């Protein structure tokens, strides 16, 4: 095993959080019957999974704005 990893090859991480974030994680872990570590990993995974959706939505928004701009320019010519 590489130094600093557990038997599954995971590395540790020390994390300082504002008190309200720590409370939120504590409450979530308690409610879900899991550890704070599991909750942090779950939140990060959810964000990672959302990035492609967010990127696609932003690209659609930019296309929509471009189409609106073209339509407005066409209307001005009439």
State the residue range of the domain holding 37: 19-77
How many Å apart are CA 76 and CA 78, to the nearest integer?
Answer: 5
Query: Which of the four pLDDT bands, split at 50, 70 and 90, describes residue 12?
Result: confident
Is residue 8 in some structural domain? no
Is residue 43 in some structural domain? yes
The number of angstroms, rounded, from the C-alpha of 68 to the middle of its chain's C-alpha atoms is 29
Is residue 10 in some structural domain? no
Is residue 28 in some structural domain? yes
Instruction: Note the pLDDT of residue 2.
Output: 64
Per residue in 15-64, pLDDT (tens digit) is 899 999 999 999 999 999 999 999 999 999 999 998 988 889 989 999 99
Q: What would the mean pLDDT of 61-68 be, rounded to a whole number?
A: 90
Is residue 13 in some structural domain? no
5 beta partners: 11
Count of domains for the chain: 1
pTM above 0.75?
A: no
How many Å apart are CA 58 and CA 53, to the nearest integer?
Answer: 9
Instruction: Note the pLDDT of residue 19.
Output: 95
Instruction: Note the pLDDT of residue 30.
Output: 96
Is residue 12 in some structural domain? no
Is residue 3 in some structural domain? no
């Amino acid at each position: 095993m590489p130094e600093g990893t557990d038997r599954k090859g995971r590395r540790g991480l020390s994390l300082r959080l504002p008190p309200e974030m720590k409370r939120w994680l504590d409450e979530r872990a308690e409610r879900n019957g899991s550890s704070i570590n599991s909750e942090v990993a779950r939140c990060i995974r959810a964000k990672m999974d959302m990035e492609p959706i967010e990127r696609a939505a932003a690209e659609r928004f930019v296309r929509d704005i471009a189409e609106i701009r073209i339509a407005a320019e066409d209307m001005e010519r009439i």
